[in-house]
Amino acid sequence: MNASLNEKLSKVEWGEYKIEKLFTSSNGDYDIQKKHINGVGNYVITSGLTDNGVLGKSDIPAKIFEKGTITIDMFGCAFYRQFQYKMVTHARVFSLKPLKPLTHNQGLFFSISLNYLSREFGYENMCSWEKIKSKTIQLPQSNGEIDFDFMESFIAELEAQRIAELSAYLKVSGFDNYELSDEELDALQKFRELSEENWGTYKVGNLFERVKTKKLPYKAKELPKQPTEEYVLPCLTSSFQNQGLNYYAPKEGATILSNVISIPSNSDIYRAYYQSRDFTVLSDSYTIRWRDNKTTLLPNQYLFMVMCINKVTDLPIYSYKNKLGGWNVVKEKHIRLPQKNDKIDLGLMDSFISAMKKLTIKDVALYADRKIEATKTIVSSKSVE
């Protein structure tokens, strides 16, 4: 945040407001499952940070919540929703409807003010309306009343600043060049044209091996959720929030891992992730690495492998009630991979993921450009006034 915004925050008057005086709370009325997600209907909200808690779309009959409301999950994560949605009931997520209608920017400000709850709640102490309704949030005020105008202008200026930073990052990182190379275009074409004989079936246990790690003498509830002093090493648990890395431990005595795949062993969602940076394993999860010492997998190739592994692990049939199991189960599963001359086509996998990254970044870069131009127009019109 730049000096201008920090100065605004330091000069504004703040007041404390009880949450129950600002919102009413309600819950979903149908236990929507992953099997109900079919890509049509309304968005479905669940717990977690992945995709801001959006599970997908479903047309299954269930209560529809208004846009302009805020969802809070069992971890205390708050998100402002500018669209109508449904909610699962098994993941302890609930909806807050403001007593006074909010603009988009005001809704974002309120959700940010509520996010301190994520530092107080987790698996060991799940968030609920009963637990938070008597709590307070700090809001800007003027003459003893909530200053909604300040919220509006602050979020607008913050967004403009962040978009400018994003644009600069894309340029420095080379991501502003989202034009596909000939190799990447060729990979996309080849991928579309892959026939049955171009895919091979491979046993997971023949490709990967489990990594042995030291057992840490900590419980998740004992560890900070942010790096502090010597607690700087991200810890892996079964959570799908932030790729399972939600706690921090000291490096001393820990098995430090990177460039491996993590898989939960006791979870509601059995989603594998490629972990490129240093971390360690805390509980209810494990990691696997490429067995072939003669070949070093590149990050893009790992990402492709993860995508294929998730086709046999991240399935609606698995949950806390019907667990997938650990490595002894996963290693026996089979995945499909592109092959050339009866060998895994690692080159195609690398180029394909590279192309997909650029196609994704293209949308981000164009969005940043549009936002910057819109901001320039607003600033220009205000200066004319």
Q: What is the pLDDT of residues 110-166, one digit of tens each?
A: 999 999 999 999 888 999 999 999 999 999 999 999 999 999 999 988 888 888 888
Q: Quote the CATH superfamily of domain 182-347.
A: DNA methylase specificity domains (3.90.220.20)
Residue for token pair 């129950």: 20
pLDDT of residue 385: 45
Q: Are strands 231-236 and 280-281 parallel, antiparallel or unpaired?
A: parallel
Looking at CATH, the fold of the domain delimited by 13-147 is given as Adenine-n6-DNA-methyltransferase TaqI; Chain A, domain 2 (3.90.220)
pLDDT at residue 3 in the model: 64
Alpha-carbon span 220 to 29, nearest angstrom: 31
Are 13-147 and 182-347 equal in CATH topology? yes
Domains of the chain, by residue range, sit at 13-147, 163-177+350-384, 182-347
The whole-number pLDDT of residue 1 equals 59
> Kind of pairing, strands 145-146 and 136-142?
antiparallel
Per-residue model confidence (pLDDT) at position 383: 43
Cα–Cα distance between 211 and 21 in angstroms, integer?
Answer: 51
Q: Environment class of residue 86 by beta-carbon count within 10 Å: exposed (0-12), middle (13-18) or buried (19+)?
A: buried
Quick one: which of 285, 318, 178, 218 has its CA closest to 275? 285
User: Cα 245–247–252 angle (5° rounding)?
Assistant: 105
Distance CA 54, CA 64 (A): 14
Q: Report the alpha-carbon angle 164-380-175, nearest 5.
A: 20
Report if pTM > 0.75.
Answer: no
The ranges of the chain with pLDDT < 50 are 379, 382-385
User: In the chain, pLDDT over 70 holds for what percent of residues?
Assistant: 96
